[in-house]
Amino acid sequence: MPHLFATSDLHVTHEGNAPLVDEVVPRTPDDWLLVVGDVAERAESVIGVLKTLRERFAKVVWVPGNHELWTTQKDECQLRGQARYEHLVERCQEIDVLTPEDPYPVWEHQEKPLTIAPLFVLYDYSWRTPAAEGLPLLAAVDQAREAGVLCTDEFFLHPDPYPSRQAWCADRVKISTERLEAIPEDHGTILMSHWPLHRHPTAPLYFPEFALWCGTTETEDWHRRFRAEVAVYGHLHIPRSTEADGVRFEEVSLGYPREWRKRARGPIPLRRIF
């Protein structure tokens, strides 16, 4: 029986993480792998790691995280926003790695067929603390900064040609909704998104204000609406299994070395989903 594995937030440019890619290996030649974003910040590093993983696994499915979408001075690829995303999609297609722009694959090894839906949705700052509800966006961001947290996306994740990240998110929600609605009704789904689709995984955040950069209320019911067997995500660097409405949520991130070195179980760069 083939296995379905998942990983995210490998952050291979951080010293100590790159060697752990050697542990992301299948158990059988027919195993599949879901890569749920934040492989690296540089485009060539992202593609290089995905190519290595594709050589090992029968199928690899990737969604972008915020780090892949950053445009930094050290990256030879200076594309921004949508153009950067399209560039990464094209490069993935060249190495036979599936993306949110490709036909959704179907996992046939459960009681019913499960359509794997790689989702690129982003966030729209709608996950607010009670103190930030109703405030203008700049005031909410300032409040987070005063609390001691500000996402680096504010400097490196450009929404071009959209006027804002919220507008880009709204378009991605529309595109994703249309594709999810086209999934056959007799299929369950495996929803994979770098940002969690439901807010409950953000509850343990040390800075609750960081939820601003973690998702959107527009996806809160997708696990029910689109018949999810499991929702796989990363971004938070809080690897764990939870449930919402009887649906399993799996946070599969490796995280930064300073994080996994503190854990008794050490680094876990690969999680089995089925």
Q: Residue 83: what pLDDT?
A: 98
Q: What is the mean pLDDT of residues 53-58?
A: 98
Q: What is the chain's Cα-based Rg?
A: 18
Amino acid residing at 108: E
Which among 76, 66, 63 is positioned nearest to 36, based on CA atoms?
Answer: 63
Tell me: the pLDDT tens digits for 74-97? Answer: 999 999 999 999 999 999 999 999
Q: What is the pTM of this model?
A: 0.97
Tell me: the pLDDT tens digits for 128-153? Answer: 999 999 999 999 999 999 999 999 99
Which among 68, 64, 145, 148 is positioned nearest to 99, based on CA atoms?
Answer: 64
Q: Is the dihedral angle over the CA atoms 242, 217, 68, 49 positive or is it negative?
A: positive
Tell me: the pLDDT tens digits for 194-251? Answer: 999 999 999 999 999 999 999 999 999 999 999 999 999 999 999 999 999 999 999 9
Q: What is the DSSP letter of 249?
A: E
Place domain 4-272 in its CATH homologous superfamily: Metallo-dependent phosphatases (3.60.21.10)
Q: List the chain domain ranges.
A: 4-272
Amino acid residing at 214: C
Q: Residue 11: what pLDDT?
A: 98
Question: What are the DSSP calls for 140-189, one per residue?
Answer: HHHHHHHHT---THHHHB--TTSSSHHHHHHHHHHHHHHHHHTS-TT-EE
Percent with pLDDT over 70 in the chain:
100
